[in-house]
Structure 1
């Protein structure tokens, strides 16, 4: 919509595929080996998987994660 501004909220990631800060209904921008991707995470048996990367990738293999939020001011 007109006036909507995308903002990025940094999400801390570590060596685990688990995170209480990831939500499957939200969109994320992630950095993987110097490349940026946008998409969503899905919950798998091993933890969170980012589906915006070809073939998917586990959370613990991602360098940086940002939640995409929309400011509707």
Structure 2
């Protein structure tokens, strides 16, 4: 996990240590693990409501990486 300040706010990057999950699981109701898949959607909507964003992708090491961008209000 890394948190860094930017001129406009902050960026939080969380990368797992395991095989990760399909980045498509960031969509509401999509989960490959038997859960509801709501967690990533709630995080995305929370970030967007504050003027930021959430992206879920793969790191160069092949792990799942979630990046939350938050802007100063």
Assess same fold via TM > 0.5.
Answer: no
Larger relative contact order (CA 8 Å, sep ≥ 6): 1
TM-score w.r.t. the length of structure 2 is 0.31
Higher helix share: 2
